[in-house]
Structures are given as structure tokens and as C-alpha cells.
Amino acid sequence: MTEPAVLFVCLGNICRSPLAEAAFRAEAAKAGLRVTVDSAGTADYHVGEPPDPRAIRTAARFGIDISGYRGRQASAADFDRFTHILAADHSNLRNLERIAPPAHSARLSLLLDLVPGRTGEAVADPWYGDEDGFLVTWKEVSAAARALVAELQA
């Protein structure tokens, strides 16, 4: 079996998707799972920029440094590179479906579809709120990260 490769996607790649990437990296490392991981945005608003300072502080609360992450935009090539592409919400899922090549093998879904009882739900977008919103997002992406690690180990 090929090594799993997971891409987490939100709009700008500075809040939800870098937090999801960080949570998944931590869970995969804890489980000893070999996996390629990245995050991207469907928009090009923050290409080359670090995550939002509130996201950096939130990850740091859990001992994870994401200050070196840099925003990038998702592309059609990602559908060949990644086995799993997980969108933070319905809008980004639709954007990914639009750029997906006709024949791809990547599993494309909402991130919270992995969490029992959360199918079809969007990850909370903390952009317009305060640090508490980033903590809510962290809890959601961490639950999804644990579920994905369990699924990949099964």
C-alpha cells in the first residue's frame, strides 16, 4: 500500500487548515504513522504568508510550532499527490470539486465527516472571532485528526 498523503484545505490556509495539519501531524507521530501531510487554501489570499497569529498561539498552547508553515493555494496537481483531501467546509469542498481533474484517485470529503455524529458539518471558522474561536477549531480538527489516524491504521 502507498504511504497515505493528506491535504487539509480551507479558504486562505492561515487558520483552519494549518491547525488541522498540525493536529494531524501530532496524532500521526504519536501513533508512529508514516504519512505525508500538507495544507492549502482554495483562494490565493495568503500565499507565502505564515498562519494567523491566533492560530500560531493556539497550536503553541498544545506544544506545536506552526510559525514556519506558509500559505499556498490548492491545485489540480494535488489530486495526484494526495490520497486524502479534506475540506474545512462545503464552500471549499465545492471549490476543490471544480479544480479536480476528471480522473483522480484522491478521497475528497469534509474534514468533520471523519468524526462520528459530525458528518456534513463544517469546521468552525475562527477568522472573525477571538482566541476562543481558535480553541473551538482546534478541538474539532483534533477530533478529526484522531479519527483519521485510527482509520489509516485500520
Residue 121 lies in domain: 5-153
Q: Are 8 and 24 spatial neighbours (Cβ–Cβ below 8 Å)?
A: yes
Note the pLDDT of residue 153: 95
Average pLDDT, the chain: 97
Say how many domains are in the chain: 1
What CATH number corresponds to the domain at position 22?
3.40.50.2300
Cite the active site residues: 10, 16, 125
What the block records as the C-alpha cell of 83 is 490520497
Q: Which pTM does this prediction carry?
A: 0.97
- Per-residue pLDDT band for 1 (boundaries 50, 70, 90) equals low
Percent of the chain with pLDDT over 90: 98
Tell me the residue ranges of DSSP E strands in 42-98: 84-87
pLDDT at res. 2: 79
Put residue 120 in one of left, alpha, beta given phi > 0 → left and psi -120 to 50 → alpha: left
* pLDDT above 70 as % of the chain: 99
21 pLDDT more than 60: yes
pLDDT, tens only, 115-153: 999 999 999 999 999 999 999 999 999 999 999 999 999
Instruction: Record the cell numbers describing residue 119, joined without a space.
Output: 458528518
pLDDT bucket at 71, cuts 50 / 70 / 90:
very high
| 111 secondary structure, DSSP code | G
Q: Over 80: is that where the pLDDT of 63 sits?
A: yes
| pLDDT for res 68 | 98
At 73-102, the pLDDT tens digits run 999 999 999 999 999 999 999 999 999 999
SS3 for 61? helix
